[in-house]
Structure 1
């Protein structure tokens, strides 16, 4: 590892900690989620070690309904760490500076939404961000900066890349564990079979991941919208839009040559669905892809036979990585693919990383435990970038 961690930091200092607490907001109410639980481990450790802690985080984007204050986030974080958490409705104004100066060992203070500061956005070079008023004002108030926001590490925002250039900088526990797990597929050596379950809605992401990892992964198991587009490339009459959803045709136009080339060059590494599921009079119905003459329904999941084919491959693997869901698992009728492969992974003694946006939610929804997997990532975009070998600017700043 090429950055400093909390193990390198002396106890009892005043630290500025960047978390990623960005959460769904429903009717103005911030929803609790896995991110609070993960970051609570870092904050609890800092509290126990007598640090004076000020927290930076963002929520939403300007102009969107979820662009709200972090006041509710402070309360939710307090519940997770079982410790008082204060809040100030400024990020680096006079009241914020006053409250930071009043911190004692074990205190936690959440500063206001970083994206309410003009200096936070847009994305600019770290050198530019390090010279903003936001960074220059806060840097002298702390002994060290800690970045725990791996899931936002692909963003070149002031709170993520500016501070490491002007302060002693360290990785928090979430940053440390996410980095290790999500780079394992490229950096770790496995003696046995490496399998990747690839789904989701974005074909470009799938292609980029598969292209980057084609020499590392032995078998790609496909599903979701991307999987249906690969079936189209294989000659099946699926992967077309049949309504106004515009999920397939535009992506096909943009990616068809790459998909066809990938299928031609790596057919022995790519396992496609053998059946697909759809809604029929409110129930789940399944159809073998060989029996499809024309696409007339929306396919919402891979079928049961596909899960039966994928599961033995998973159980024979030394390492399994998941990127994206195989179907619309939020609807229990169409959870068979996603939940089925997750259950196969949970039953297998293998190194596993589960990621890809909301996919990890299926673990809790369908009665599985996180400890049945090697690592359950809370990162979306950063996870994809790690899988494609792209640099994460927030990690690079820590390494510098």
Structure 2
């Protein structure tokens, strides 16, 4: 994969640099409740400021569907960004036209401005040429630092890269390099851990991974579908029985590709889904008819640890059990901490992503010792599925 970075952009003093960032942060009224995504883009913004650029930030917030919706304004985010950045961030009440131009024209070298929600215009999501042209008129260079939006061919993610000299920001660069190390040019053996509730939401991901990795651990509710496809009774567990043929096909594809699929051999079961519910550990061949599988058991965790020991690269997406409530978080926490320790103290490259995955790793206190944890969500999943991401392809072109 070849793409330009900030190192390739030459002199930036006085240049108007349009930077696509992800500021779609959780809010409580006008207060940002989690600034993780803001913090992720600060290195790129600070570097551009230090190099004398006039930084113009483009971002979306929510899904206004091309209409101006005050509750989805980025104005409160500008205040939070000012605080986190440690320097003033000007705000324009529109992302194109006179209001945007006046704000950009008022910038001095090293200044920063945030323009209003790009999705207030229908031309953003439609990638309309006129809207992309209007955005491009505000800048001299384009930097995409929003991998999380790179799976959308929008004007601010794909269209601008066709109109201005373009490169990846530091967050985008780190994401692409981490994903390349995980799947494109990995050190083998490669282990993937995939969990979550349903096979149906990850069929394409599994189809792609079994052709690229050496070992695939399947956990969470989706493992129940694979167990049932092998003729095991999973009781009242979450299970997509109608996908038994799909599960068997994935198993056969894995065999043909030389990928070992690792399924649970024991499970923690309970009669009710609540914190502290009475539970027992049983073989997956002996799940009571009136019980549900809520976590994988200790022997299954030992098997996962053994695969982690054997791996040089680990890709993780999804929890092994119902990690949101104790005691059904034990397998996820134990395996995550084990992988983190091996990554911190040894040669294991660990790359993780997906909403539930990030939450699970944070719950385990393991995220900080993984090589890279992606907050990209949908874009991360589409990459694992082997899909081309328009925002990345535009940078490569």
TM-score, structure 1 as length reference: 0.88
Compute the RMSD of aligned alpha carbons: 2.5
Q: Of 210, 213, 216, which aligns to 1:217?
A: 213
| Partner in structure 2 of residue 6 of structure 1 | 6
Kindly indicate whether the alpha-carbon contact (under 8 Å) linking 1:130 and 1:165 is maintained by their aligned counterparts in 2.
no
Deviation at 1:395, TM superposition (A): 0.8
Deviation by residue 1:104-152 (Cα, 9 ceiling, x = unmatched):
1121111111111121124xxxxxx3612x2222312211011111111
Structure 2 equivalent of residue 61 of structure 1: 63
Q: Equivalent residue for 1:232? A: 228
**SS of alignment partner, residue 120 of structure 1:** helix
Report how far residue 97 of structure 1 moved. 1.1
Are the counterparts in 2 of residues 311 and 341 from structure 1 also a CA contact under 8 Å?
yes
- 2:235, 2:288 within 8 Å by CA — same for their partners in 1? no
Q: Residue 182 of structure 2: which of 181, 185, 195 is its match?
A: 185
Map of 1:244 onto structure 2: none
Matched, 1:105 2:109: yes
1:269 is aligned, of 240, 254, 260, to 260
Equivalent-residue separation in structure 1 for 2:306 and 2:205 (angstroms): 23
Give the corresponding residue for 1:126.
Answer: none
Matches within 5 A, 1:291-370: 291-294=286-289, 296-348=290-342, 349=346, 350-370=348-368
Contact 1:69 1:113 in 2 (8 A): yes
Shift of 1:217: 1.4
Do the aligned partners of 2:20 and 2:156 also contact (CA within 8 Å) in 1? yes
CA contact (8 A) 1:58 1:113 kept: yes
Larger mean CA deviation between 136-145 and 230-239 belongs to 230-239
Report the Cα offset of residue 223 of structure 1.
0.9
Distance in structure 2 (CA, Å) of the matches to 1:55 and 1:167: 15
Q: Is the 8 A contact 1:17 1:54 kept in 2?
A: yes
**Residues 220-252 of structure 1, C-alpha deviations (whole Å, 9 max, x = no match):** 1111122221111122222866xxxxx644xx4
CA displacement, residues 146-181 of structure 1 (integer Å, 9 cap, x when unaligned): 111111111111111111111111111111111121
| Paired positions, count | 382
Q: SS of 1:333's equivalent? A: coil
What corresponds to 2:38 in structure 1?
A: 36
Are the structure 2 counterparts of residues 76 and 227 from structure 1 closer, same or farther at C-alpha, using a change threshold of 3 Å? farther
Q: 1:392 to 1:208 in 2, by over 3 A?
A: same
1:274-318 deviation line (CA, Å, top 9, x unaligned): 233355574252332222142x34433323332222112112211
Assess, with a 3 A threshold, how the Cα gap between structure 1 residues 239 and 196 changes in structure 2: closer, same or farther: farther
- 1:283 maps to 276
CA distance in 1, matches of 2:253, 2:319: 25
Secondary structure of the equivalent of 1:343?
helix
Match for residue 20 of structure 2? 18
- Give the direction of change, closer, same or farther, for the CA distance of 1:264–1:140 in structure 2 (3 Å limit): closer
More displaced stretch, 327-336 vs 161-170: 327-336
Tell me how far apart the structure 2 counterparts of residues 214 and 332 of structure 1 sit (CA, whole Å): 31
| CA–CA distance in structure 2, aligned partners of residues 117 and 51 of structure 1 | 27
SS at match of 1:235: coil
TM-score between both structures, scaled by the size of structure 2: 0.88
Give the equivalent residue in structure 1 for 2:390: 393
The equivalent of 1:125 in structure 2 is none
Q: Which moved more, 1:383-392 or 1:60-69?
A: 60-69
Name the CA shift for 1:30/1:328 in 2 (closer, same or farther; >3 Å).
farther
Instruction: Report the secondary structure of 1:287's partner residue.
Output: strand
Structure 1 equivalent of residue 195 of structure 2: 199
Return the match for 1:121 from 125, 132, 152.
125
For residue 324 of structure 2, give the secondary structure of its aligned residue in structure 1: coil
Q: 333-342 or 7-16: which moved more?
A: 333-342
Structure 1 position 272, deviation (Å) = 0.8
Contact 1:60-1:67 within 8 A present in 2 as well = no
- Note the C-alpha offset of 1:322: 0.3
Inter-CA distance 117–306: structure 2 relative to 1 (3 Å threshold): same
Q: Mind listing any 5+ residue stretches in structure 2 that lack a counterpart?
A: none
